Amino acid sequence: MAKVFIYPTNSLILSDLVERFGHKPLAMMGKVREKITTVGIDSPPLNITPEDPKLGLKYAAVEVPAGVRGRMSLVGPLIDEAEAAIIVGDAEISFGCMGCARTNELTKYLARKKNIPIIELVYPKSEEEGREFVYSIAEFLKSLPMEEGSA
């Protein structure tokens, strides 16, 4: 089982696909769940406190806006953990959306910079492209090792 980072980071479809092929999706939903179920933090709705953008300094310098660093404090550790990555470009908002273009650029860059298996695809515009899209992702996921920690 490989830990697969997905982009857009909150894509339910990508997350589901990764799980179906026996791997662990590294997605924003898990991080947000962790945040909102942690006792003792009180900064609704995401429970991100002023400390989080400081954690984001690991990924972006202090002159990078606080909102980017706050997002990176969630996304950055997912990339650190990743053993493979799926990046989908030009996706519709309903497929998954991270909100901030600068964060998106940095996220994709950090994932690409990591020496891990990556598949990059463009979001399909037709049914035929859609089939090819799912097939490519499936083949990529099948190519990843199933043993834990062996990726």
Instruction: Give the interface with another protein as residue ranges (CB under 8 A).
Output: 42-46, 48-54, 63-71, 93-94, 97-102
Pair 76, 56: CB distance under 8 Å = yes
Q: Where does residue 90 fall: left (phi above 0), alpha (psi -120 to 50 degrees), or beta otherwise?
A: left
Give 99 or 130: the residue with its C-beta nearer to another protein: 99
Q: Provide, rounded to whole angstroms, the least separation between the CB of residue 19 and another protein.
A: 25
Q: Provide, rounded to whole angstroms, the least separation between the CB of residue 109 and another protein.
A: 15
Give 40 or 45: the residue with its C-beta nearer to another protein: 45
Helix (H, G, I), strand (E, B) or coil at 106: helix
Give 109 or 135: the residue with its C-beta nearer to another protein: 109
Q: Provide, rounded to whole angstroms, the least separation between the CB of residue 119 and another protein.
A: 23
User: What is the dihedral angle through the alpha carbons of 52, 54, 56, 60, rounded to the nearest 10 degrees?
Assistant: 150
- Provide the token pair at 38: 């942690």
